[in-house]
């Protein structure tokens, strides 16, 4: 009898099926947007979802309608807190969505607020994004490094 024994053929097919199933399982799922627009001067709807992208020159909030670009050189203040600080909320800017007075009462372990104040063409702008701590943590060090300035982080026990 010539050819392979039957058990080797079955084993080969089983291995091929396992590899195919593993390749399908390892296929990357598209990432859900992990940042939400909470307040600011940008013409975006509240809770507009998007992602934060970092480059050597600046950061961008990429959302369904486009990108809000913020050059690092234009940033005047960056904060990551459980609420929106008075230093941000009292800025004299043209808010399209004002920080809600209830946001400080909204303190939860689920979300924090990443606020960036910046100037573009002699106009002050603010971008406040709601984001989970586990998502934001890796961004903090990279922003500090690339922006050559620190993000002011509220002292929280889990950091």
Confidence of residue 16 (pLDDT cuts 50, 70, 90): low
Q: pLDDT by residue (tens digit) across 41-100?
A: 999 988 899 999 999 999 999 999 899 999 999 999 999 998 888 899 888 999 999 887
Task: Give backbone dihedrals phi and psi of 51, rounded to 5 degrees, phi first.
Answer: -125, 155
- The CATH architecture of the domain made up of 35-153 is Roll (2.30)
The residues with which 157 forms a beta bridge, in sequence order, are none
Half-sphere exposure of 10 (CA within 13 A, CB side): 3
What is the per-residue pLDDT for 8? 72
Rg (the chain; Cα; Å)? 23
Nearest to 87 by CA among 124, 54, 121, 51: 124
Predicted TM-score of the model (pTM): 0.74
CA distance 121 to 43: 17
**Are the beta carbons of 50 and 61 closer than 8 angstroms?**
yes
8-35 average pLDDT score = 64
What is the per-residue pLDDT for 29? 45
Residue spans per domain, the chain: 35-153
């Amino acid at each position: 009898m010539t050819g392979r024994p039957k058990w080797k053929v079955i084993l080969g097919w089983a291995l091929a099926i396992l590899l195919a199933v593993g390749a399908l399982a390892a296929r990357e799922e598209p990432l859900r947007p992990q940042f939400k627009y909470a307040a600011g001067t940008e013409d975006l709807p509240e809770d507009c979802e998007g992602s934060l992208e970092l480059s050597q020159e600046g950061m961008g909030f990429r959302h369904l309608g486009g990108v809000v670009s913020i050059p690092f050189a234009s940033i005047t203040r960056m904060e990551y807190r459980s609420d929106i600080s008075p230093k941000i909320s009292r800025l004299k800017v043209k808010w399209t969505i004002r920080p809600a007075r209830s946001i400080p009462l909204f303190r939860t372990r689920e979300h924090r607020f990443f606020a960036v104040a910046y100037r573009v063409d002699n106009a002050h702008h603010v971008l406040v994004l709601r984001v989970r701590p586990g998502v934001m943590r890796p961004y903090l060090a990279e922003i500090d490094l690339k922006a050559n300035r620190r993000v002011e982080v509220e002292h929280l026990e889990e950091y």
